[in-house]
Structure 1
Amino acid sequence: MSLSSPYRFDSSSSRSTTSRSRGRSHFGASCLASSVFLASWRTSRSRTPAPRNRNRSSHARGSSRLTTCVFTGIVQGKTSVISKDVIKENEAMAFRMQFPKGATENLQVGASVAINGTCLTAVEIDQENDTARFDLIIETLRATNLGKLDVGSEANFERAARIGDEIGGHNVSGHVNCVAQLESVEATDENRRLLFSLPKDVGRYVFAKGFVAVDGCSLTVGEVERGDERDSFSVYLIPETLRVTTLGGYTHGDAVNIEADASTVAVVETVARVLAEKNLELSSL
């Protein structure tokens, strides 16, 4: 990663780290539709968005960002909700988030930021105070845990990767597959083991020693158990992960966003399709 990257707001949370365990549901339509759906509502607000940085081309027009707006699963820090506007219950709301000092540098309206692994579009930015506003609509609220956040809640965040950035985790799109439930926490002085359960239609993509994004954190899967109704998997967290992310504060029953590794999904679906053509089932292997 270039040392001149504008994302190096804090040396303790920069992309240069090699720790994988620090980690959009980007519903492409959701990000775009939310801006259209709430445009008239936003313009009626008294807040004035911070001026855009004219020295860089906008994300929509193409810049040095990756064209698919990929994330790496290396969480850059924690952000907190400072305001929550419910526009229509379970269908539309907006958050204003407080970021660490310098974290919104060069962030532009229309840029994507992963919040708990969910890709959201920045619709208002105040770089002086390091705050940004995001719209959430029905699909995002249905498929992720973001609707459960309240004023004061913390979430993991990651700015979109740029060409030349080090991929310290794995390719994360921000497309959340499901919400999993934390079943147990085992803690020692230096380690923590979390066990999650998730629907079987997503669990089929999770394998021991494979990748998974949990609330935006790129993690290595420990053990996997296949159940009759739900599957489960464990992850092991080092102290640095507990320090930088929100995972250290999770307790039994908490809901987390899960994104399966895209390459694993592609392999499983391809094999399943080939077997189906031969009248075989994946579970028979």
Structure 2
Amino acid sequence: MFTGIVQGTAKVVAIEEAELFRTHVISLPKSLRKGLEIGASVSHNGVCLTVTGIEGKRVSFDLMRETLRVTNLGAVEVGSRVNIERAARFGDEIGGHSMSGHVIAMAELVELDEAPNNRRLWFELPHELGRFLFDKGYIGVDGISLTIGEVRPAGATHGPRFCVNLIPETLARTTLIDRVLGDRVNIEIDPQTQAIVETVERVLASREV
């Protein structure tokens, strides 16, 4: 489990390519390596990955075909930075919202509003995910627990859209400061929201039979 409170960013220092398979090697700061062991779970841009190797500050993670297909990690290059969060431990403070590290889709950055000490980003999602979006609801964006500021319904030429408002601390700690129009981010829908919506849909569908 993760909390969506990103602990920092790490640089990808090597990528080993194989058929439908990748190994990412990141340079992990000392503060994030404490107690880290092979087999541990670490979130990269909101994707739960397993540590497969540790050599000093170089930590390796394997990415399977589905991870490369569904997330933006397939587009990561050597020199890219990714958001990092170690798995939550029992007793840790949950400052964001409970997240599993299971990315459901990617969203495209379609609008960007800059203001002093603020940054508002608008993202577009696939049509089928619009039912999970609610004003002031939770959402995971590249592993960051964020509150949805506003929702716009899908139109004739575009999918549903939502915005998030970013404070300086979030911008300083994560890669969202570097995002530009057209970039694609990993999305995790709030698990509680997803469970409630899908349960209501099943109940309503059963009554129509």
Q: Into which bin does the TM-score normalised by the smaller protein fall?
A: over 0.9
Structure 2 equivalent of residue 205 of structure 1: 132
Aligned to 1:266: 195
Task: Provide the residue aligned with 2:179 in structure 1.
Answer: 250
* Structure 1 runs of 4+ with >2 Å offset: none
Which of 165, 171, 177 is 2:92 aligned to? 165
Q: Counterparts of 1:235 and 1:80 in 2: how far apart (Å)?
A: 25
In structure 1, what is the equivalent of residue 52 of structure 2? 123
Distance 2:184 2:131 in 1: 19
Q: How far is 1:103 from its partner?
A: 1.2
Tell whether 2:68 aligns with 1:106.
Answer: no
Instruction: Tell me the matched-pair count.
Output: 207
Quote how far apart the aligned CAs of 1:133 are: 0.1
1:192 to partner: Cα distance: 0.5
Distance 1:137 1:189 in 2: 41
Give the 3-state SS of the residue equivalent to 1:103 in structure 2. Answer: helix
Answer 1 or 2: which has greater strand percent.
Answer: 2
Q: Counterparts of 2:31 and 2:145 in 1: how far apart (Å)?
A: 23
1:143 to 70, 77, 80: 70
SS in 1 for 2:125: strand
Which residue does 1:38 correspond to in 2?
none
CA distance in 2, matches of 1:242, 1:103: 19
Query: What is the aligned counterpart of 1:96 among 25, 46, 51?
Result: 25
2:170 to 241, 245, 253: 241
The within-5 A match list for 1:184-203 is 184-203=111-130
Query: What is the Cα deviation at residue 102 of structure 1?
Result: 2.6
Deviation at 1:100, TM superposition (A): 1.9
Q: CA deviation at 1:101?
A: 2.7
Q: Which moved more, 1:104-113 or 1:198-207?
A: 198-207
CA contact (8 A) 2:130 2:154 kept: no
Q: Which runs of 5+ in 1 are unaligned?
A: 1-69, 281-285
State, as a whole percentage, how many aligned pairs show the same letter. 50
Q: What does residue 232 of structure 1 align with?
A: 161
Q: Secondary structure at the match of 2:31?
A: coil
TM-score (norm 1): 0.71
**3-state SS in 1 of match to 2:78:** coil
CA distance in 2, matches of 1:131, 1:211: 33
Larger radius of gyration: 1
| Residue identity opposite 1:277 in structure 2 | S
1:153 lines up with 2:80 in the alignment: yes
- Letter of the 1:211 counterpart: Y
Partners in 2 of 1:100 and 1:194 — Cα distance? 28
Once the two structures are superposed, what CA deviation does each residue of 1:130-163 show, in whole Å capped at 9, x if it has no partner?
Answer: 2210011100001100010000000100000000
What one-letter code is carried by the residue in structure 2 that aligns with 1:99? L
Whole-angstrom CA distance in 1 between matches of 2:70 and 2:42? 17
Aligned mates of 1:101, 1:213 — CA distance in 2: 26
- What RMSD over aligned residues (CA atoms) do the two structures have, in Å? 1.1
Matching residue's letter, 1:233: F
* TM-score, normalization by structure 2: 0.97
Q: Is the 8 A contact 2:117 2:168 kept in 1?
A: yes
- Deviation of 1:200 after TM superposition, in Å, equals 1.9
